Amino acid sequence: MPTATAVQEQRTAYYERIAERQMAPLWESLHTLVPPQPKPQAQAAIWRYAQIRDLVMQAGAVISAEEAVRRVLVLENPGLPGKSSITPSLYAGLQLILPGEIAPSHRHTQSALRFIVEGRGAWTAVDGERTTMRPGDFIVTPSWTWHDHGNPSVEDGGEPVVWLDGLDIPLVASLDAGFAETYPEATQPVTRPEGYSFARFGHNMAPVRERVSNPTSPIFSYPYERSREALDMLYRHSELDAWDGVKLRYVNPTTGGWPMPTMATFMQYLPAGFKGRAWRSTDATVYCVVDGHGTVNIGGAEFAFAEHDVFVVPSWQTVQLSAHGESVLFSYSDRPVLAALNLLREERI
Ligand code: GTQ
């Protein structure tokens, strides 16, 4: 019988020989490659706005929006260093645009969402239409559409505006499906009045002769006022869900499905004193606190959250939300991808 050391030496030598031919022994990594359950590299993490707001604003003195193209601080998951990712499939960043600035027009195959954190009056343009940003609005930038952002000058009432960018950058990168182009001018021509898309699709109605099933929602901006109103009404007149409080998903009116092919978005209301039950799911989720404060327990670790904080719940980690003051949370996840691939699992504990 060869000794354990001899066996190990023989194997190591063998692994070196097969490595020269770009091969590796599956038996050394089988359990990692095919885990009994998800073991995310991504960690639960929180970006507390009170601690980072000054740094976000200081970016305005470091570089102009024009030079930066997009002046964004990437929220990088501490478990995914160097990957510019908040989850394995999703990207998050805080974008700052100052009065009088333009973030020049470009397009890319990555889908984007904007969730307005603070400031109002800046605009984003998609396909010839501009929409004005207000805190709590959820704005859609479909894949491969020209988009530029801008902010009126101080004289015209402009103020610094910060929003959360959610994109499917890591997912698109993992598929090697990224394409991008720069528009020849800083801004695209405005060809339609503000509110045009909303008139077509934002009132639970749709243009009568169009039979479209658009992979991305034609509703350009989902105004906070409306989402909040719906949550308030449902809170007052229906039973609270023990896990979610009152939670709604944003809908693509042409399909009834998610607003984007790769990202789902949600908004939920938690009354003061709410102590949610624990649940987990295979979609990793990024939360942005619109209003209120409380705690979130993610996989046993407790994080206090307050207004404008961003936190991330990795796949299959239990999450439990508690609200001290009445709270409103926006969230986005890769749920459509998991659902499409039959990989979505959810467990309410
Ligand atoms: O606004 O188009 O945070 O292209 C990252 C990439 C924002 C944008 C980001 C982008 C954008």
Q: How far is the CA of 186 from the centre of ligand 1 (A)?
A: 15
Surface-to-core class of residue 235, CB atoms within 10 Å of its CB (0-12 exposed, 13-18 middle, 19+ buried): middle
Cβ neighbours around 228 below 10 Å, total: 16
User: What pLDDT sits at residue 210?
Assistant: 86
Name the CA dihedral angle for 126, 132, 136, 139, rounded to a multiple of 10 degrees.
Answer: -10
Pair 284, 265: CB distance under 8 Å: no
**Cβ < 6 Å from ligand 1: which residues?**
70, 72, 93, 95, 108, 112, 147, 165, 167
Q: How far is the CA of 301 from the centre of ligand 1 (A)?
A: 31
Distance CA 164, CA 244 (A): 22
User: What pLDDT sits at residue 2?
Assistant: 86
Q: Which atom of ligand 1 is nearest to the CA of 147?
A: 2
Query: Looking at domain 45-348, what is its CATH homologous superfamily?
Result: Jelly Rolls (2.60.120.10)
Cα-Cα end-to-end distance for the chain: 50
User: What pLDDT sits at residue 144?
Assistant: 98
Domain layout of the chain by residue ranges: 45-348
Sign of CA dihedral 168, 173, 175, 177: positive
User: What pLDDT sits at residue 211?
Assistant: 80
Nearest Cα neighbor of 67 from 102, 33, 32, 36 is 102
Contact partners, residue 251, CB within 8 Å, separation at least 6: 217, 257, 258, 259
pLDDT, tens digit only, all 349 positions of the chain: 789 999 999 999 999 999 999 999 999 999 999 999 999 999 999 999 999 999 999 999 999 999 999 999 999 999 999 999 999 999 999 999 999 999 999 999 999 999 999 999 999 999 999 999 999 999 999 999 999 999 999 999 999 999 999 999 999 999 999 999 999 999 999 999 999 999 999 999 999 998 889 999 999 999 999 999 999 999 999 999 999 999 999 999 999 999 999 999 999 999 999 999 999 999 999 999 999 999 999 999 999 999 999 999 999 999 999 999 999 999 999 999 999 999 999 999 9
Nearest Cα neighbor of 132 from 260, 221, 228 is 221
Nearest protein CA to atom 1 of ligand 1, as residue: 70
Q: What is the token pair recorded at 64? A: 């102009």
Q: How far is the CA of 349 from the centre of ligand 1 (A)?
A: 37
**Of how many residues is the chain composed?**
349
Q: How far is the CA of 7 from the centre of ligand 1 (A)?
A: 53
Sign of CA dihedral 124, 261, 82, 179: negative
302 bridge partner residues: 297
Ligand 1: residue of 131, 167, 182, 188 to mutate (most ligand atoms within 8 A of CB) is 167
Q: How far is the CA of 124 from the centre of ligand 1 (A)?
A: 12
